[in-house]
Amino acid sequence: MFVGSDVNGINPGTFDMSGGTLDVGDDITVGDTVMGTMTMSNGAASTADDFILNTKSSLTMTGGTLRVGDRLTTAGNANLFVDGGELTVDDDFFLFGDARATVDSGSIIVHDKLRFDDDVLRTGKMTINGGVVRSNEFGYVDVSDVHILRGIVEINGSGAYQVEAFNPGPISSSPVSQLSVPYAQQLIADGYFITSELAPLSLVATSIVVPEFDGRTNVAFTQISLVPEPASATGLLLTGGLLLRRRDLLS
């Protein structure tokens, strides 16, 4: 299924889904030879294969459910916006180049990797202002055996990003692809996870249990979200500020 496919490369394509059911036996491609725009406010849509969001094209979800049977890929300068509903990806979710993904409410559930690719300048960005983004792995690019995380995840408000927890053992994933709490804290410190919120809010990584994921129950995840700084720390900051101000007045 193509949204935005004009052999003359002139007329953009649009598709609006406000209810009903759409089952596509292969790919959904938004933006083929021209710009494509897909909006979804209700109903249930699914693909048997990939969902491809090409350059300068967009998908906006405000409700309903969309299940991608294989991979979701967003090209450079593409925009994905979720403000309600549930987007489920059975395999990987790739953000290429300077693609943008924004979640204000609802959820994106990725059963394999969420991965930024091919942009050494880290211009790709996912912003989570509310709702949940959950993935089995947080992808990385392996260049000469050096793990390079490309792209930025910004978390604000009630938004949360959850990655299946790293569980070392006889069979284990890379600590980069499945996150331990200490490694997630390091990624926050290194600026891969950021926030626009002001103190006393700050990003922290915590351990949580998700009741069901990928056919398994009670699955351990590492969650990155905002929490207030401890009251004692805030009190010390305020007290310090008052003391400094008093000294200024007395001097």
Domain ranges of the chain: 2-250
Q: pTM of this prediction? A: 0.85
SS3 138: strand
Q: What is the CA radius of gyration of the chain?
A: 21
Cα end-to-end span (Å), the chain: 74
pLDDT digits (tens, 9 = 90+) for 20-30: 999 999 999 99
Summarised one tens digit per residue, pLDDT across range 125-183 is 999 999 999 999 887 655 554 555 678 899 999 999 999 997 665 444 555 578 889 88
Q: How many C-alpha atoms does 80 have within 13 Å on its Cβ side?
A: 30
Confirm if 20 and 40 have CB atoms less than 8 A apart.
no
Using DSSP bridges, classify how beta strands 141-143 and 146-148 pair: parallel, antiparallel or unpaired: antiparallel
Token pair 């494509």 is found at 36
So what's the pLDDT on residue 121? 63
The model's confidence at residue 4, banded by pLDDT at 50, 70 and 90, is: confident
pLDDT in tens, 24-58: 999 999 998 889 999 999 999 999 999 999 998 99
Closest CA to 107 of 124, 130, 127, 126: 130
